[in-house]
Amino acid sequence: MIAIIDYGVGNVRSVEKALNALGFEAQITDNIKDIDNASGLILPGVGAFRDAISKLNNSQLTDCIKKNVYNKKPLLGICLGMQLLYDKSYEDGEYEGLGIISGDIVKFNQDVKIPHMGWNKLYFNDEDPILKYIKEESYVYFVHSYYAKPYGKEIIAYTDYGVKVPAIVKNNNVYGMQFHPEKSGEIGLNLLKAFGEMVI
């Protein structure tokens, strides 16, 4: 079972429907025992970083997520969920993230339209099983005003929006997708399929 972590913000129902359509058992939950018993985790997200990390901290989900990651459980962060994986965000202030991936979340400069909203191509930066069902330059759907500025070399795929925007990142058993796979048609479903197969 894949636990979709419910912390009061996020696009949880559409993620659940996408996983169910692919034949994966999924459960939306904020119950720590359910999360601990799951085979894989998804951290979705839509909204503000400050509110999201506050809700994770106040509901004791931060420690739960870190414990499961330490125990090598597959985790996928989606959109804001990916940004929460990083050390720090500068969205309307300065806030500590989960610190699972090294780097900062920063705002696009003024040379591009903000938010970045729409379909953009994925360019592969590295080979990885998460990409096995899609081709380079496939289009996926983005909605965000901030992007990850990583310290390391964990970028699997990127898109071009004035700067190279990390689109798919990985740190051991943890993946992040800045776009919304659940809103990205067949390409998004194929990416979720590849992640789900890692969980089984």
Q: What is the 3-state secondary structure (H, E, C) of 99-146?
A: CCEEEEEEECCCCCCCCEEEEEECEECCCCHHHCCCCCCCEEEEEECE
Per-residue confidence (pLDDT) for residue 61, from 0 to 100: 97
In one-letter notation, the amino acid at residue 107 is K
Per-residue confidence (pLDDT) for residue 153, from 0 to 100: 76
Per-residue confidence (pLDDT) for residue 198, from 0 to 100: 96
Per-residue confidence (pLDDT) for residue 26, from 0 to 100: 97
Tell which wins on pLDDT, 137 or 112: 137
Catalytic residue among 16, 116, 154, 180: 180
* Long-range contact pairs involving 101-104 (C-beta distance under 8 Å, separation at least 24): 101/148, 101/150, 101/152, 101/154, 101/169, 101/171, 101/174, 101/176, 102/150, 102/151, 102/152, 102/171, 103/148, 103/149, 103/150, 103/151, 103/152, 104/148, 104/149
Measured distance CA(85)–CA(89) in Å, rounded: 10
Domains in the chain with CATH codes: 2-199 (3.40.50.880)
Q: What angle do CA 152, 158, 164 make, to 5 degrees?
A: 80
C-alpha dihedral over 75, 79, 80, 81, to 10 degrees? Answer: -10
Q: pLDDT tens for residues 128-156?
A: 999 999 999 999 999 999 999 987 778 99
Catalytic residue list contains 144: no
Confidence check: pLDDT of 185 > 80: yes
Catalytic residue among 16, 64, 79, 154: 79
Output the pTM of the full model. Answer: 0.96
Q: pLDDT tens for residues 29-65?
A: 999 999 999 999 999 988 899 999 999 999 999 999 9
Strand blocks (E) in 39-91? 40-43, 75-78, 86-89
Q: pLDDT tens for residues 169-182?
A: 999 999 999 999 99
Catalytic residue list contains 127: no
Measured distance CA(44)–CA(50) in Å, rounded: 15
Per-residue confidence (pLDDT) for residue 177, from 0 to 100: 98
Per-residue confidence (pLDDT) for residue 10, from 0 to 100: 66
Catalytic residue list contains 136: no
Per-residue confidence (pLDDT) for residue 21, from 0 to 100: 96
Per-residue confidence (pLDDT) for residue 45, from 0 to 100: 84
